[in-house]
Structure 1
């Protein structure tokens, strides 16, 4: 496993000194993205690089903007879970050069967004982790994308038992959105490396 991690790191390292690299760790729900990010981050830190990890789920919108909107559930999840255009302007367009980004961050306890200040001063490499990262509005902002390919059955087995009981939510919300993403954006074809989990 560590050999694969090292090979991935070698592929994503900047070719020119002083150039900030933006890496996307893409994959569907429960494909192992967070675990992969931790391993990659540790390997990069060992090489003396300054790394900032961002999770796209930290920037979802309030519940009333993504549930019971009148749209189909899969549409809400794919198109309304995040303010896609705002993130393009306020986050993705600034990743390469900004020393600081101010961004609305979701607080699940209060179901509100609060401004977070993200310091990127002296950051060599940014790792963005999350689902649907290769949507057309965001994908060109990445220098390197790793896609984690994991079968649906394995991903579903990683859900909590209580969560698994709500099968309709998976069928109507998550899986339809995932199928749409795979068909529309072809993430396995567009990624620099596909990691089979």
Structure 2
């Protein structure tokens, strides 16, 4: 990721604000680390940026585990309330959200750039909410090595829940093909 020309992330012409940028990638692909670098970059250019992590919107455990569906289905389809996120996060992001820094009159200004990061962002229900989509492509073996040693011991959970859902996403959504920018991470 270090060799990425960050000037390619934003359009060259004047920025339509708010500019909604999606950072998609499978688990442990480096999304949060990448977003931290992006936020710093945007600030150096004078843009007000705000970031949302869809993992902050995960449904309660009883809605996504032991539902009678296969584990991968629970992870892909029930981990988040897909329609609620579309209405309450993605559509509102296009209207503009408050940036973290306050303005001179004490009010928080609207952000220039809204970054939304998370897994499965390019699903059909959400894809149209973004002005630009980046996909962090990282090999499964590399991502698995980024897990803690304790988590790596739970291989069956990865096989039944995470990897099957990721396979479904890769085969049915094809995020690497649909993203505006693909970054090897």
TM-score by length of 1: 0.84
Secondary structure, aligned partner of 2:94: coil
Whole-angstrom CA distance in 2 between matches of 1:19 and 1:83? 27
**Given the alignment of the two structures, is residue 181 of structure 1 paired with residue 169 of structure 2, yes or no?**
yes
Whole-angstrom CA distance in 2 between matches of 1:160 and 1:53? 25
Partner of residue 72, structure 1: 70
Is the Cα–Cα contact under 8 Å of residues 29 and 138 in structure 2 kept in the other structure?
Answer: yes
Deviation at 1:139? 0.7
Structure 1 gaps, min length 5: 101-118
Partner of residue 154, structure 1: 142
Partner of residue 114, structure 1: none
Is the Cα–Cα contact under 8 Å of residues 96 and 111 in structure 2 kept in the other structure?
Answer: no
Is the Cα–Cα contact under 8 Å of residues 25 and 135 in structure 2 kept in the other structure?
Answer: yes
**Aligned length, in residue pairs:** 177
Secondary structure, aligned partner of 2:20: strand
Q: Which has the higher strand share?
A: 1
Whole-angstrom CA distance in 2 between matches of 1:139 and 1:18? 18
Per-residue Cα deviation, 1:62-114 (whole angstroms, up to 9, x for no partner): 000000000000000000000001111111111111446xxxxxxxxxxxxxx
**Given the alignment of the two structures, is residue 40 of structure 1 paired with residue 28 of structure 2, yes or no?**
no
**Given the alignment of the two structures, is residue 26 of structure 1 paired with residue 19 of structure 2, yes or no?**
no
Is the Cα–Cα contact under 8 Å of residues 22 and 133 in structure 2 kept in the other structure?
Answer: yes
Is the Cα–Cα contact under 8 Å of residues 96 and 110 in structure 2 kept in the other structure?
Answer: no
Change in Cα spacing, 1:34 to 1:99, as seen in structure 2 (3 Å) is: closer
Structure 2 gaps, min length 5: 99-106
Whole-angstrom CA distance in 2 between matches of 1:38 and 1:99? 18
C-alpha RMSD of matched pairs (Å): 1.8
Change in Cα spacing, 1:2 to 1:180, as seen in structure 2 (3 Å) is: closer
Whole-angstrom CA distance in 2 between matches of 1:89 and 1:23? 17
